[in-house]
Amino acid sequence: MTVQNRPPESKFAYVVVAARRARQLMMGAAPLIANPRSPKQTRIAMEELQNSVLEFDLPVLAQGPSEEELKRRKG
């Protein structure tokens, strides 16, 4: 896994990362930006992602079977 600080390209990954950070903020973590535009934790998490101040890991997804493996399975 590599540490990233740019917003994920995938919308699903973006939502997952923002939700995890929002949960941390709800549990009492301090915001990483000085003057957030909104008092809401979800908006703060999204702003942190957009400003590239939040570091996160995305797991490496396992690759599916190759075309050769699929051909061998079919017969």
Kindly report, residue by residue over 12-54, the tens digit of the pLDDT: 888 989 999 999 999 999 999 999 999 999 999 999 999 988 8
**DSSP letter at 55?**
-
Residue 71, Cα to own-chain centre: how many angstroms?
35
SS3 (DSSP) at 57 = strand
Please tell me the pTM assigned to this model: 0.72
Domains detected in the chain: 3-74 (3.90.940)
Look at residue 2 and tell me whether its pLDDT is greater than 80.
Answer: no
